[in-house]
């Protein structure tokens, strides 16, 4: 609100106060202010004309009218006016929230802070009307971002890197999560060497996690496709079914579903985080030109995400209940998952992008796509100025 509009409002409210003032409906009170009639307010139809104190439910006060024209009550009326003026920025913000669609490549626990920010009102308090749009994978989310159909995309980090190398004007502005995938094996498969000559399940044949799997297996002495085959099986549920049916002998599963697999008797062959400790699995991405023109909105969005993530840390019980309901997990599984993300930590405490983790993503991307020349500096793909400003405004910098 500008000073001019504020002054106009005060003037209007002052004029109203000289006549009569109506409290908001939620308060349930109608107050006659500034009248000096001596009649009581218990008079009903047929009584002499005059002002009346009524509740919105139609009942009347039994107080004499003089009671309400005392100096103290007049001051109270003006206090209410002042309160409304002071509350007006919040009221205006609620009416003028900025539309802010966010695309997300999948609905997984690692993206929990985004869902909490949306469902728990953290974005609303920043003046944003966020709508989370679930998309079918990273590629559609990148396309929507490039087409300016969404404001921010939360997606696998190799997606924007690929798009940037193809000329897209994108940048990662904050981290999502590090890799949390476990390689789980069927009953008789317990080590990497046991996988030689077998078929391994993956979400796709070209996703970032598949490239991580291939790199990990290579480090363990297994070359693709010489020593094993890959079968695209889809998500976690399909991976379980494929192993139970004998189509695959192992598959990558993210926390907390990997914990559930262990409970069902599957074997933990290896944690990808042990091979690539800081691998940046996902991040928040924007179009550079759009973000610069809408810097305030991007900063407010990141403030909402950071605050949602801090809520996970500060109110663990409520966070577990939220995650269990939102992601359809048992409370026990939600608790184990939350503890893993916070303690590993798979979420950076303040959503910063660690360059060594992003460098690993770039290295694997360059290897899989046979990039010519020097491997790009990871700074090429990043602009953390929005996050730094958000952290400063929150008081974390």
What value does the mean pLDDT of the chain take?
83
pLDDT of residue 350: 97
For the whole model, what pTM was predicted?
0.76
Domains belonging to the chain, first-starting first, are 3-95 (no CATH), 98-178+279-394 (3.40.190.10), 182-275 (3.40.190.10)
pLDDT band at 22 (very low <50, low <70, confident <90, very high): very low
Tell whether the model's pLDDT for residue 227 goes beyond 80: yes
**14-23, 210-219, 238-247: which has the highest mean pLDDT?**
210-219
Better-predicted residue by pLDDT, 372 or 95: 372
Mean local confidence (pLDDT), 233-238:
84
pLDDT of residue 139: 92
Tell whether the model's pLDDT for residue 56 goes beyond 90: no
pLDDT above 90 covers a percentage of the chain that reads 68
Secondary structure of the chain in the HEC alphabet?
A: CCHHHHHHHHHHHHHHHHHCEECCCCCCEEECCCCCCCCECCCCCCCCCCCCCEECCCCECCCEHHHHCCHHHHHHHHHHHHHHHHHHHHHHHHHCCEEEEEEECCCCHHHHHHHHHHHCCCCHHHCEEEEEEECCCHHHHHHHHHCCCCCEEEEECHHHHHHHHCCCCEEEEEECCECCCEEEECCCCCCCHHHCCEEEEECCCCCHHHHHHHHHHHHCCCCCCCCEEEEECCCHHHHHHHHHCCCCCEEEECCCHHHHHHHCCCEEEEEHHHHCCCCECEEEEEEHHHHHHCHHHHHHHHHHHHHHHHHHHHCHHHHHHHHHHHCCCCHHHHHHHHHHHHHCCCCCCCCCCCHHHHHHHHHHHHHHCCCCCCCCCHHHHECCHHHHHHHHHHCCC
pLDDT of residue 217: 97
Q: Which range, of 58-72, 279-293, 316-330, averages the lowest pLDDT? A: 58-72
pLDDT in tens, 255-309: 999 999 999 999 999 999 999 999 999 999 999 999 999 999 999 999 999 999 9
């Amino acid at each position: 609100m500008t000073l001019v509009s504020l002054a106009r409002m005060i003037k209007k409210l002052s004029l109203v106060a000289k006549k009569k003032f109506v409290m908001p409906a939620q308060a349930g009170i109608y107050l006659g202010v500034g009248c000096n009639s001596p009649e009581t307010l218990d008079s009903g139809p047929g009584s002499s004309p005059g002002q009346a104190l009524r509740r919105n439910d139609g009942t009347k006060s039994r107080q004499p009218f003089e009671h309400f024209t005392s100096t103290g009550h007049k001051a109270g009326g003006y206090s209410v006016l002042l309160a409304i003026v002071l509350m007006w920025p919040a009221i205006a913000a609620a009416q003028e929230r900025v539309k802010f669609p966010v695309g997300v490549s999948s609905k997984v626990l690692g993206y929990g802070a985004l869902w909490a920010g949306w469902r728990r009102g953290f974005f609303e308090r920043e003046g944003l009307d966020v709508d989370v749009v679930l998309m079918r994978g990273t590629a559609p989310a990148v396309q929507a971002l490039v087409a300016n159909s969404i404001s921010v995309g939360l997606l696998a980090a190799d997606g924007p890197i690929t798009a940037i190398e193809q000329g897209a004007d994108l940048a990662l502005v904050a981290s999502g999560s590090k890799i949390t995938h476990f390689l789980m094996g069927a009953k008789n498969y317990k080590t990497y060497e046991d996988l030689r000559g077998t078929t391994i399940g993956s979400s796709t044949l070209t996703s970032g996690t598949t490239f991580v799997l291939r790199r990990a297996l290579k480090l363990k002495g297994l070359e693709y496709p010489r020593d094993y085959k890959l079968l695209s099986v889809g998500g976690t549920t399909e991976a379980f079914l494929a192993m139970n049916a004998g189509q695959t002998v192992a598959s990558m599963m993210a926390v907390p579903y990997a914990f559930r697999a262990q409970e069902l008797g599957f074997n933990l062959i290896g944690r990808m985080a042990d091979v690539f400790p800081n691998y940046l699995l996902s991040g928040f991405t924007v179009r550079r030109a759009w973000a610069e023109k809408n810097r305030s909105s991007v900063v407010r969005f990141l403030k909402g995400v950071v605050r949602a993530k801090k809520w996970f840390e500060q109110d663990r019980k409520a966070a577990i209940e939220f995650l269990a309901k939102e992601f359809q997990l048992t409370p026990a599984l939600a608790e184990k998952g939350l503890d893993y993300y916070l303690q590993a930590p798979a979420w950076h405490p303040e959503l910063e992008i660690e360059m060594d983790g992003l460098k690993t993503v770039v290295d694997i991307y360059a290897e899989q796509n046979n990039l010519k020349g020097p491997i790009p500096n990871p700074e090429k793909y990043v602009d953390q100025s929005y996050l730094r400003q958000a952290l400063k405004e929150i008081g974390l910098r």
